[in-house]
Structure 1
Amino acid sequence: KRKQILSSVGISAIAIFLLLKGINQYGDPIRWIRFDDVSQTLMSFFNITKYPPSLQYLLITLGVTILFLAWSEKWSGKIADFFCVFGRVPFFYYIVHIYLIHLMALVLAELTGYGWQALILHKFISRVDELKGYGLNLWMVYLIWIVVVISLYPICKFFDHYKQTHKEKWWLSYL
């Protein structure tokens, strides 16, 4: 029953996204454009506003996520256990990963000659002239993402265990 409800909600959200995007009039400030090249048209179609989150952004991301939840709900084994740890401490992971990635960005800036002080930003990073050219290739970003997730697993597992053994601390449920 639950899987059926989740599947229906996920498919409905994706269908509403496709309808609104197809109409090209409501739900996102960016209109899509038809190009001669199919891949450019697809990129334009899926170019949606994340900040602030538009209705279309919420529909497609939550729709896919809810469908994935319905599909993966019965998974078990070591891989499922690995991801469940993060699911039990999501806010804790979110806060810790921001600080870790910021620290890594400061180190990268220093090692690549930009200086860590350049990352003390007073305006959006793309408008800071001192940081032109700063960054990594996409494959490196994915590699760092994997390293961050794997490296935060032990601390998240520890915190998960701490939460389970200290249920009297009500505030832990928010982390």
Structure 2
Amino acid sequence: MSSFAPPILSSAYSPIAANTGAGASTIQRNPPTGRIAAIDILRALVMLLMLVDHVRERFFYHQQVTDPMDLDSTSPALFFTRLAAHFCAPVFVFLTGVSAWLYAHPAHQPPRSASAFLLKRGLFIIGIEIAVINWLWMGSYDTLWLQVMWAIGVSMLLLGILCRLPWLILLCLGITIVAGHNLLDPISFTPGQRGYTLWTILHDPGFIYTSEGFAIKASYPVLPWIGVILLGYSLGRMYAQTVSSALRQRVLIGLAVALWLLLGLLRTRLGYGEALSFTGHADWLYNVMQFVNYTKYPPSLDFVLFTLGGALLLLGLLENVNNRFSWGIEIFGAAPMFFYILHLGVLLMSYQLALAVFGANYGQWFAFDHVWQIWLCAGLMGAGLYWPTRAFSRYKRRSKHALIKYF
């Protein structure tokens, strides 16, 4: 195991396969791959949710949602469709940290530094964001949007610098950033003011460059995501050979419950961690929607508690999953960068084809009439993209080309 692909992007090879401690369980597949099944399955699940959200952004643009979502203008169906996608970015970034720890602690080998791995792949991901993904989103280069891949790449660069620190320091630093960055909300800068560009990159989304024909916007402020990747790297220790499967499962589920209990306390009593307050409502559905309506840009503390709590719970529940469905869905998690680029290209071409064939039906856009059509389209696309993704996953496993491993 000389290398594995980046972030979302990792091939999560397991140092726990030889764990024979009490309660330990080795995932056996046909054929066995040595990968951590739970990580691949979780990554695959959120990638499919990402596909749903990207179909929404491509074919439901006439009903865009705000951040947080406006409950007075957003239907419950559209609200929960968007809410499901909130899990994607936190899981991607968190699992990037876990995967970096796995790289630094290979099975049956002495620990090694992850710095070079993180720095090279971080720069690669930022390059892909700028050169490929931005064009696949917009079909042009009028504006450079620095989005989730940018945030992952920058977070990897910072982790590459910090990963030599003791794990307890990294854990405390991650907690401090995630829990404390909302205290910085009152700080703001206006365009042209000294410190504006740095603060826009770190904390407040906005344009960092504008001209008559070109602009750059930092859509994903990176400071909170740096905290999330540090938490992932710190929790990677739970996948050490000395940790049994049963203990890992208990810890993961226990942490998930603890995060959600803290979320409930902050949301209903303390009022910290989210700019949009929870006031309660007589209608139970509106009440639920208001409770889980969080800020994503940048991700508030409540946002991170909600999404990482769900991620840890699923990791715990998926610990010993081993069936034909899980074998199939793992494919999407085994070649995530390939799937990410492929689905954006297919969406861009599909939209342009639909617009040419059917014409605009909502102003200048072609759009679906109902939210259920988003889910149907995403399901059909996911089924169709399974086969090329599986083929590439098998090719990547056989290939010795370093660049192929990045995908």
In the aligned structure 1, how far is the partner of 2:385 from the partner of 2:305?
30
Structure 1 equivalent of residue 14 of structure 2? none
2:273 aligns to what SS in structure 1?
A: coil
Q: Give the gaps of 5 or more residues in structure 2.
A: 1-246
- Judge conservation of contact 1:35–1:41 (CA < 8 Å) in 2: yes
What aligned pairs does 1:122-137 form with structure 2 within 5 A after superposition?
A: 130-131=364-365, 134-137=367-370
What aligned pairs does 1:11-160 form with structure 2 within 5 A after superposition?
A: 11-23=257-269, 25-114=271-360, 130-131=364-365, 134-160=367-393
Encode CA deviations 1:8-56: one digit per residue, 9 max, x unaligned: 2222222222222223622222212322212211111111123332222
1:172–1:27 Cα change, 3 Å: farther
- Judge conservation of contact 1:20–1:26 (CA < 8 Å) in 2: yes
Encode CA deviations 1:74-113: one digit per residue, 9 max, x unaligned: 1222211111111111222122222222222223333442
In the aligned structure 2, how far is the partner of 1:136 from the partner of 1:24?
41
* Letter of the 2:344 counterpart: I
Structure 1 equivalent of residue 406 of structure 2? 174
- Judge conservation of contact 1:86–1:156 (CA < 8 Å) in 2: yes
In the aligned structure 2, how far is the partner of 1:24 from the partner of 1:31?
10
1:8–1:85 Cα change, 3 Å: same
1:130 aligns to what SS in structure 2?
A: coil
Q: TM-score if structure 1 supplies the norm length? A: 0.80
Q: Alpha-carbon deviation of 1:146? A: 0.7
Structure 1 equivalent of residue 395 of structure 2? 162
- Farther off after superposition, 24-33 or 152-161: 24-33
Moved over 6 A (4+): none
Greater relative contact order (CA < 8 Å, ≥ 6 in sequence)? 2
- Farther off after superposition, 104-113 or 9-18: 104-113
In the aligned structure 1, how far is the partner of 2:254 from the partner of 2:403?
34
In the aligned structure 2, how far is the partner of 1:68 from the partner of 1:134?
33
Q: Alpha-carbon deviation of 1:158? A: 0.9
Q: Alpha-carbon deviation of 1:129? A: 5.6
1:107–1:57 Cα change, 3 Å: farther
1:95–1:18 Cα change, 3 Å: farther
In the aligned structure 1, how far is the partner of 2:278 from the partner of 2:355?
36
- By percentage of residues, which structure has more helix? 1
1:105–1:57 Cα change, 3 Å: farther
Q: Give the gaps of 5 or more residues in structure 1.
A: 116-127
* Letter of the 2:258 counterpart: S
2:364 aligns to what SS in structure 1?
A: helix
* Letter of the 1:148 counterpart: M
Structure 2 equivalent of residue 124 of structure 1? none
- Judge conservation of contact 1:24–1:32 (CA < 8 Å) in 2: no
Q: TM-score if structure 2 supplies the norm length? A: 0.37
In the aligned structure 1, how far is the partner of 2:381 from the partner of 2:293?
27
